[in-house]
């Protein structure tokens, strides 16, 4: 019985993960009248929650969906992008930065670069190890 419960829980968890990923963020919307798609990323500065939306016909729609995906009352839009990509990066000390670019790699690089140097200035009485940073969320609309 223990194995069947474990197997059933695994199947339920896997199905929930697939539904969560498949149902979040993007909309299969039409572009605006000029052929542009819009996207937004929202972030809660207190707990680091994020939400993204892309492929929307205007910023108002992508903002609304990104805020909904972020999931807390304290979420706010931190980056918008059109016909390209946006990203949010956070350093281990809690500082964050955003970036945009023509492709995902460029947007993520710009967000990381926005954090500035991650190695402490010398001389430093603390650790000489660089801080770690990570991409919190990134998304693209067709370009």
Can you give the pLDDT at residue 15? Answer: 36
- Count: domains in the chain: 1
Instruction: Read off the pLDDT of residues 42-71 as tens digits, 9 standing for 90 and up.
Output: 999 999 999 999 999 999 999 999 999 999
pLDDT tens digits, one per residue of 113-128: 999 887 555 544 555 5
Rounded Cα distance between 72 and 50, Å, is 9
- pLDDT of 22 reads 37
113 falls within a domain: yes
pLDDT computed for residue 30 by the predictor: 75
Q: Please state whether 35 falls in left (phi above 0), alpha (psi between -120 and 50) or beta.
A: left
| Distinct helix (H) and strand (E) counts, the chain | 3, 6
4 falls within a domain: no
pTM of the model: 0.74
Q: What is the pLDDT of residue 131?
A: 73
The answer to whether residue 14 is domain-embedded is no
Residue 2, domain member (yes or no): no
**Residue 16 confidence (pLDDT):** 36
pLDDT in tens, 4-18: 444 334 433 333 333
Which one has a higher pLDDT value, 93 or 64? 64
Residue 132 lies in a domain: yes
* CA–CA dist 51, 31 (Å, integer): 21
What dihedral do alpha carbons 12, 13, 17, 23 form, nearest 10°? 40
């Amino acid at each position: 019985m223990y194995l069947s419960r474990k197997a059933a829980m695994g199947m339920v968890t896997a199905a929930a993960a697939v539904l969560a990923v498949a149902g979040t963020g993007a909309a299969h919307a039409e572009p605006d009248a000029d052929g542009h798609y819009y996207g937004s990323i929202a972030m809660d500065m207190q707990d680091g929650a994020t939400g993204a939306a892309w492929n929307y016909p205007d910023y108002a729609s992508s903002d609304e969906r990104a805020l909904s995906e972020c999931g807390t009352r304290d979420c706010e839009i931190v980056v918008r992008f059109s016909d390209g990509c946006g990203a949010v990066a956070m350093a281990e000390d809690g500082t964050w930065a955003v970036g945009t670019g023509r492709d995902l790699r460029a947007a993520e690089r710009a967000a990381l670069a926005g954090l500035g140097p991650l190695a402490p200035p010398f001389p430093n009485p603390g650790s000489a190890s660089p801080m770690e940073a990570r991409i919190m969320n990134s998304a693209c609309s067709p370009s």
